[in-house]
Amino acid sequence: MKRIVFAIMFIISGLAIAQNGTTSPYSFFGAGELKFKGTAENRSMGGMSVFSDSIHINIQNPAGVANLKLVNFTSGGSYRYVNQQTKTESQNATSTTLDYLAIGIPMGKISASFGVLPLTAVGYKFESETDTTLTQYTGTGGLNRVYLAFGYKVTPKLNIGIDANYNFGNVERKTLITEDNILLGTRELVKTDLLGFNFTFGAEYRTMISEGLELTTSAMYSPATKFTIKGYREISSILVGSNGVVRPIDERSETLEPLEITFPSLITFGSGIGSPKQWFIGAQYTHVKTSNFQDPELNFGTVEYTDSNKYRIGGFFVPRYNSLTSYWHRVVYRAGFRYEENGLNIAGEDINEYGISFGVGLPIGKLFSNFNVGFEFGSRGTTKNGLVKENFFNTFISLSLNDKWFEKRYIN
């Protein structure tokens, strides 16, 4: 049954990750909207990844993988409802995605984890209009990531780790221009393939500072890396029918010169305090060198990339993890808050974001397997200078299954 579940989830993940993971107009810029790297458990705590334990995979910090005591398989997905508004208009949009699929395997002092998850998502459709000209923009696609991580327990208190990421995907951007009293319009179609590798280095230190309190600190660093872009551009004269169907009249295409873009470096520090297997509260800071990112294809003079800063705080509480009399005493209750300066400035306005989240981890079966569900309310952007403000509600779920492998049997 476990093999069947794993195979089904793997197939579904391949199909779901290939779908659009966003409806945001801000995915027009750069390589798309950066997706959260982490589990539903992390997202329920404001996205914080300081805490690692023996029954959940830490996708964010590879050093946390060294804490695993059981083989863990996890998969998670999310549903997003967003209200997008300007000063004069408003609309609603939804998206559903499978966010990650991963497995972690403990092997003594060394533990390994591998999986697949989205890195960026492009999914926008909007238009601008003058007295005589209508311009429509649409975009789909994004980047996916396959990762392999190793964590090593240097001492009972100190873990280190590294993960290697193979990032790949494609983006299709379409621009359609039509004018009043002119029969033919113009369509520009740009298809690009993106490819690149990057690495993340992590460390985690845990120590008891009193009989019942444990201090945890963690750090991560991902150096800047180059991504290669290849693709082609197709320009067509088009005839737009009364039913909106576009028919190309004349098509011309050209292969684009390969480009390299710099995917920015990232550094994260976090710390927290708690009582083992009962409660934990922590804070985390991330700095991303987004100012190094340049996109020559989408440079309109009003877009600027600045360094990104992200602040997260969160924690959890378990009334009594080994209770035999009350199921709800074994439930994990989580909550958190995040504020992110995304590093994107449009027309002099910073596109910042915040979210308040909470969730629960529900025990299922044996070996501390659990089903996790969480919710988040938040907002991104502004309505100033003709921009879009997004008020969103996210629902995310995950399944975390544990098992024992490599057991030595004394009786056959």
Q: What is the pLDDT of residue 1?
A: 43
Percent of the chain with pLDDT over 70: 91
Contact 373, 16 (CB under 8 A): no
Task: Write out the E strands in 223-290.
Answer: 225-240, 246-255, 259-263, 266-275, 279-288
On average, the pLDDT of the chain sits at: 88
Q: What is the pLDDT of residue 299?
A: 55
| Nearest CA among 32, 29, 1, 85 for reference residue 387 | 85
Does 78 have pLDDT greater than 50?
Answer: yes
For residue 24, what are its two tokens? Answer: 């945001």
**Span 153-178, average pLDDT:** 94
Cα 343 versus chain centre, distance: 16
Q: How confident is the model at residue 17 (pLDDT cuts 50, 70, 90)?
A: very low
DSSP code string of 39-94: -HHHHTTTT------SSS--SS-GGGGGG--SEEEEEEEEEEEEEEE-SS-EEEEE
CATH number, span 2-403: 2.40.160.60
Ranges 20-24, 66-70, 274-278: which has the least confidence: 20-24
Q: 187 burial class (0-12, 13-18, 19+ CB within 10 angstroms)?
A: buried
How many contiguous H segments (helices) and E segments (strands) does the chain have? 2, 19
Selected residue with higher pLDDT from 257 and 150: 150
Q: Residue 279 has what DSSP assignment?
A: E
Residue 6, H or E segment: helix 2-17
Q: What is the pLDDT of residue 159?
A: 96
Q: What is the pLDDT of residue 15?
A: 44
Does 284 have pLDDT greater than 50?
Answer: yes
Q: What is the pLDDT of residue 366?
A: 77
Alpha helices in 117-239 (DSSP H): none
CB atoms within 10 A of CB 201: 16
Does 53 have pLDDT greater than 70?
Answer: yes
Q: What is the pLDDT of residue 410?
A: 59
Does 388 have pLDDT greater than 80?
Answer: yes
d(CA 299, CA 65): 40
Q: What is the pLDDT of residue 198?
A: 93
Q: What is the pLDDT of residue 409?
A: 61
β-sheet bridge partners, residue 352: 341
Q: What is the pLDDT of residue 11?
A: 47
Does 173 have pLDDT greater than 80?
Answer: yes
Contact 158, 204 (CB under 8 A): yes
Q: How many CA atoms lie within 13 A of 227 on its CB side?
A: 30
Give the three-state DSSP class for 157: coil
Does 275 have pLDDT greater than 80?
Answer: yes
Q: How many CA atoms lie within 13 A of 302 on its CB side?
A: 7
Q: Give pLDDT tens digits for 193-228.
A: 999 999 999 999 999 999 889 999 999 999 999 889
Q: How confident is the model at residue 298 (pLDDT cuts 50, 70, 90)?
A: low
Q: Residue 297 has what DSSP assignment?
A: G
Q: How many CA atoms lie within 13 A of 392 on its CB side?
A: 27
Q: What is the pLDDT of residue 294?
A: 65
Q: What is the pLDDT of residue 261?
A: 84
Q: What is the pLDDT of residue 38?
A: 92
Q: How confident is the model at residue 4 (pLDDT cuts 50, 70, 90)?
A: very low
Does 353 have pLDDT greater than 80?
Answer: yes
Does 412 have pLDDT greater than 90?
Answer: no
Q: What is the pLDDT of residue 302?
A: 77
Contact 209, 201 (CB under 8 A): no
Q: What is the pLDDT of residue 244?
A: 67
